[in-house]
Structure 1
Amino acid sequence: MKVSAVGTSSVTLSSLFRFESGSVSLLSKSKSSFGVACSLASSSPAKALRRILDSPGVHQGPACFDALSAKLVENAGFQFCFSSGFSISAASLALPDTGLISYAEMLHQGQLITQSVSIPVIGDADNGYGNAMNLKRTLKGYIAAGFAGIILEDQVSPKACGHTRGRRVVSREEAVMKIKAAVDARRESGSDIVIVARSDARQAVSLEEALVRSRAFADAGADVLFIDALASREEMKAFCDVSPLVPKMANMLEGGGKTPILNPMELQDIGFKIVAYPLSLIGVSIRAMQDSLTAIRGGRIPPPGSMPSFEEIKDILGFNAYYEEEKRYATTTNPQLSKRESSNLYSIQRRDQVDTEQTNQSFKDPIVEVITPDDVYNKYGADSSRNPFSGIWSRTLRVKITGRDGFERLDLRIPAGFLDGITNIVPALGGINIKELLDDATEEVGGKLLLDFQDRMGDRIQVFLE
């Protein structure tokens, strides 16, 4: 059965829909201003990836683990990205990459990732989640999920992370047959998904065995070759000399893997075409969350500059684009509208106004109450001769926080009269009578250390009068 669309050629119904469990799901993605999608008229993700592979130079692809991290990769200007089984297992299950995450879980997360971006995504499919027949189903599922490429490895089940202990590989014959099964599944699906054949034989057996397998994978129809955990530049060069017409993938495992970390130009000189950075995004996310939780536990909020403003977060997630598109469907003239519906336009307009008012109320600009000179005079009397504190406006307070790890977390200067607002910036100063300390130091010439203590989390807090 065929259907036709205006301005497009006829396409088969099965290419548009997937029939599953008695339901029909649309495989193509509708296009909207706040959701990135591919139209039927545009090229497939796999074709876009193949154009990248055919273009000169080496191409970098960070590894994402959810829709947000994928969107950030795209926003940063990268042409493609990887989905990482290691990172998805960590972010979704808080479990190690030891074969615990299932095909269904990886497929679900992968579909969320591919639907959130317009750049091609190469999906990590471990060992295909079983034998050659399981692998064929896996590949077809990844095609339906919108992946441009799929990485298939030769490990046994359960698999292990490529740079950890315990790796074992299937026989060479079985490994090659699984790549042939992947090629068959691609042909049966009418797809051009890019097949990345990975071998873990370097650490499980030997470099020579890994090189032999890579040649066999290329002969079986793999589009890209990948040997994980190569241990030196020499090994990387030997790998790139195998089947020279087939693109090679490098894996720059950040933070201490077995493979030397080289810059893109060095990798290009050796002969690599694409480069994965598997841990950067999940790694910095873990550290950022740890630091933020330490700050909150210590009675503070994350310091200015350590996180985007609320307005920036909304922009990344598409709130503003959503509001603009929502206005197109707001109605006020239909007399049958309910009170909730009839007030919709006002609500949208009011929300825009509130959002604008809150633009500057971010972590970069803390909300504080400022003591004005009039407040001081009214409270303490206008006669400065009887009130030495009235000269406070000529002085400055410096607040400095040094983490227990020795790194500086905060260093700011504020007017000395900024008393009521200072605890909004550093809650650990709550309950301390800074006004009394200033009274005692008001006749001091030059700077003076007013406070020097450690909070509950071990961070050092210092307050100076300058």
Structure 2
Amino acid sequence: MTANAPTLMGGARRLKDLLVRGELLAAPGAPDCMTARMVERAGFGAVYMTGLGATALRLGQPDLGLMTQTEMADHARAMVRAVQIPVIADADTGYGGPLNVRRTVEEYAQAGVAALHLEDQESPKRCGQLAGVRIVPRCDAELRIAAAVAARAEIGADMIIIGRTDALQSEGIESAIDRARRYRDIGADLAFVDGVKTRSEVEGIAAGLDGPKVVSLVDGTDAAQLTRAELAEMGFSIVLYAVTTLFAAGAAIREALAHLSDAGTPDGLVGQMSYAEFCDVVDLGRFQAFAKTHETEDHP
């Protein structure tokens, strides 16, 4: 097994060890494996496989429920193999009924995912920051979480389950908090109210929702101005920065292409990663060393 090969339980156990410390865990989003490796090298304790980023990178399309369960599981599996830190993965709505949720839990656990979150949107879902998010009745959402918890127990997985609600937009903060609390009561390990845009919403969730909880901050919103120290003081366990690397990469690519178009040459482009730096990120030396050790030497 290689240094980056996934194990069924390892990521979840490492993530639980981090959470037991009681410190806020920051997990930047990564749309692809190279970005995940850069998150790891930057010293973060976990990486978030964002559905928005995965859809953008694999399909070049918006986060409107277009990625299938198998595509998302394959994407997660590749990311787990690419890094040693735990991978927290978006599992959307579970991709169907109870049996689909069961399969999602099984596929993600076998991929080595440390934690997944399931949301209470209708299918097809959409990005939680978009207007018009529609959620399923509370009883249906509870059954979804219960199915995930039961599936985890049945297959003997150790993966963390995060119960996510998108009710903030349509039902208000009190209903969203009630839903998140209920999902945790059913067996979810952490509660997650998504779609926050303002500091006051984050503060309200922190005050109304006790126990382990997750917050996701989206660049450009008022909520994103909150510091990790402030979030820790509020009692959050995990903060996700879902789009920071995706938006930064998009801006850098746009700038590089504009320069190439205008100048007719890449020469003079500022801020590019060097080829040596790129080789370091993808761990070229380790692969070359392995090949050198095991390849047959040429003889005259």
Letter in structure 1 aligned against 2:245: L
**Aligned partner of residue 164 in structure 1, secondary structure:** coil
Distance apart, 1:242 and its partner CA:
4.4
- For 1:61 and 1:132, how far apart are their aligned partners in 2? 29
Corresponding residue of 1:215:
181
Greater share of residues in strand:
1
1:172, distance to aligned residue in structure 2 (A): 0.5
1:147 aligns with 2:118: no
Per-residue CA deviation, residues 103-135 of structure 1 (Å, 9 max, x unaligned), is: 111111111101111110011011111122211
Q: Within 1, Cα distance between the matches of 2:48 and 2:13?
A: 16
1:31 aligns with 2:2: yes
Aligned pairs for 1:103-122 (under 5 A) are 103-122=69-88
Alignment-derived partner of residue 216 in structure 2: 251
1:194 aligned residue: 160
CA pair 304-94 structure 1, distance change in 2 beyond 3 A = closer
Q: CA deviation at 1:233?
A: 3.6
Equivalent-residue separation in structure 2 for 1:146 and 1:216 (angstroms): 27
Q: Deviations over 1:1-23 (max 9, x none)?
A: xxxxxxxxxxxxxxxxxxxxxxx
The one-character-per-residue Cα deviations of 1:237-296 (angstroms, maximum 9, x if unpaired) are: 33234452x31111110123x745301011111121110001111111111111111111
Aligned to 1:255, the other structure's residue is in SS state coil
How far did 1:318 drift?
1.8
Does residue 158 of structure 1 match 2:124? Answer: yes
Query: What is the aligned partner in structure 2 of residue 312 from structure 1?
Result: 277
The sequence identity of aligned pairs, in percent, is 33
Residue in 2 that maps onto 1:261: 225
Give ranges in structure 1 of 5+ residues lacking alignment. 1-29, 333-340, 344-466
CA separation in 1, counterparts of 2:288 and 2:199? Answer: 52
Q: Does 1:277 align with 2:241?
A: yes
- The one-letter code of the counterpart of 1:190 is G
Paired with 1:131 and 1:324, the residues of 2 have a C-alpha distance of: 47
**Bigger share in helix:** 2
Match of 1:296 among 251, 257, 260: 260
Alignment of 1:302-451 (within 5 A): 303=268, 305-332=270-297, 341-342=298-299
Which one of the candidate residues 139, 145, 170 is aligned to 1:204? 170
- Equivalent residue letter for 2:227: N
Q: Is the 8 A contact 1:168 1:204 kept in 2?
A: yes
> Unpaired segments of 5 or more residues in structure 2?
none
Letter in 1 for 2:288: Y
Larger Rg: 1 or 2? 1
Q: Structure 1 pair 48/302, CA: closer, same or farther in 2 (3 Å)? A: farther
Deviations 1:139-172 (A, max 9, x none): 1111011100001000001111111112000000
- Which runs of 4 or more aligned residues in structure 1 lie more than 6 Å from their structure 2 counterparts after TM superposition? none
**Post-superposition offset of 1:66:** 1.3
The farther-off stretch of 111-120 and 201-210 is 201-210
User: Normalised by the size of structure 2, how large is the TM-score?
Assistant: 0.94
Residues 18-59 of structure 1: CA deviation (Å, up to 9, x unaligned): xxxxxxxxxxxx125xxx23569xx61101111111113211
SS, match of residue 328 in structure 1: helix
Tell me the CA shift for residue 192 of structure 1.
Answer: 1.3
Cα distance change on mapping 1:216 and 1:302 into 2, 3 Å = farther
2:251 paired with 1:287: yes
Aligned-pair CA distance for 1:305: 4.3
Relative contact order (alpha carbons < 8 A, sep ≥ 6): 1 or 2 greater? Answer: 2
Distance 1:164 1:235 in 2: 16
- What is the number of equivalent residue pairs in this alignment? 299
Q: What is the alpha-carbon root mean square deviation over aligned residues? A: 1.8
Q: Distance in 1 between matches of 2:7 and 2:150?
A: 27
| Distance 1:329-1:271 versus aligned 2 partners, 3 A rule | same
| 212-221 vs 298-307, which moves further | 298-307
